[in-house]
Amino acid sequence: MKFGELQSADFTSLHFFVLAAQAGSLSRGALGAGVSQPTLSRHVLKLEREMHARLFERVGRGVTLTAAGRRLYDAVLPGFEQLLNGRRLAMAEVDDTGLRQVTMGLPPSVANILGPRLLSTVRTTLPMLRMHVVEGFHRALVDSLHRGHLDFALLYTMIPIAGLHADPLLDEELCLVMAPARARNKKSVNFSQLGEFPLSLPSRPHGLRELLEDQAAVHRVRLDVRHEFDTSLTLTKQMPLTDLACTVLPFSGVHDEVEGGTLAALPIRKPDLSRRLVIAYANNRSMTTGLWQFLRMLRTQCEALVADGAWKGARMVAPGHDD
């Protein structure tokens, strides 16, 4: 078996497999990859299905390679290291620009899925770069951009924001999030059914609340809003975790809980509902060559998460594409 023959195996799954094999532990491999253990385990399972063989077996508190796992590891390691070195060389272009610090803002839901991946990539490919991540909600991030406290931020918005430039990044479908027992093996939920569920939502003028109420008016659906939380993703998720209410979030906001089986996320259909994530920066921000190259790396990481299926319900949008 040669590295080039693994046509269906994606780079991320092989990366996670190699890290787990080298660490002798799925949890330590996940730590090295900057992802949750359920995410790494899902990628390993994907490889096992493609190889039609178990790759690891448990020993004590760790794992060891099976015979099939050892063959795969020996086959892919040279090619994997060559690819990884190529990525490091490509990312060195950012370092050559003299960029030493980036301050970026992320919504909590995006930080949940993108933050570890991005920080891990920066740590391994740009060790000289200091990356400062500020987690916050829309209004706080917009204010920080206007004040010059952030180089850029990822924002959910479909409308222009005064004083900011915004490049489309991706569209992310919205899901009805609930306790698994409520889902009853459903794969999706129609918008017309939302009135049947007790909801915990942000208050107006939050963009998500306005989107839901506008659609409710169009489709004559009465939303049963029991609780309102504006600045706490943790409290918002506690409602479905304790089965007190359901909520509406993009999949990224509940990625770990869905992977761990503590929450279910049903895509909303008829109509499909989504929110656009944009890369925003102040109009008066001096965008250096290093920052531009960093943003290209950011987009590449998002593309990889979408392509690998880790960022479920997301669809990349080309820069400058407003449809």
Query: Each residue's pLDDT tens digit in the chain (323 positions)?
Result: 444 445 445 677 888 898 889 888 888 888 777 677 788 888 899 899 988 999 999 887 789 999 999 999 888 888 776 666 655 555 554 445 556 788 999 998 898 888 888 888 887 777 777 889 999 988 899 999 999 999 999 999 878 889 999 999 999 999 999 999 999 889 999 999 999 999 999 888 788 899 999 999 999 999 999 999 877 888 889 999 999 999 999 998 898 899 889 999 999 999 999 999 999 999 988 877 778 888 888 998 898 888 878 888 999 998 765 55
Q: Residue 255: its pLDDT value, please?
A: 86
User: What domains are there in the chain, each with its CATH number?
Assistant: 3-89 (1.10.10.10), 94-170+276-316 (3.40.190.10), 172-274 (3.40.190.290)
pLDDT of residue 203: 87
Q: How far apart are CA 147 and CA 177, in angstroms?
A: 35
Element (H, E) at 239: helix 233-241
Helices 67-96 and 11-23 cross at an angle (nearest 10°) of 110
Q: Helix crossing, 37-51 with 26-33: angle to 10°?
A: 110
Question: Which pLDDT score, from 0 to 100, does residue 89 have?
Answer: 52
234: left (phi over 0), alpha (psi -120 to 50) or beta: alpha
* 64 Cβ contact list (under 8 Å, min separation 6): 24, 56, 57
**CA atoms within a 13 Å half-sphere pointing along the CA-CB vector of 3:** 14
**Residue 246: C-alpha distances to residues 79, 214, 228, 239 (Å):** 46, 19, 12, 6
The per-residue pLDDT for 5 is 44
Residues 26/40, Cβ–Cβ less than 8 Å: yes
What string of H, E and C letters represents the secondary structure of 114-172?
HHHHHHHHHHHHCCCCEEEEEECCHHHHHHHHHCCCCCEEEEECCCCCCCEEEEEEEEE
**One-letter amino acid identity for 227?**
H
Place of tokens 């208050």: 203
How buried is residue 302: exposed, middle or buried, by Cβ count under 10 Å (0-12/13-18/19+)?
Answer: buried
pLDDT for 239 equals: 92
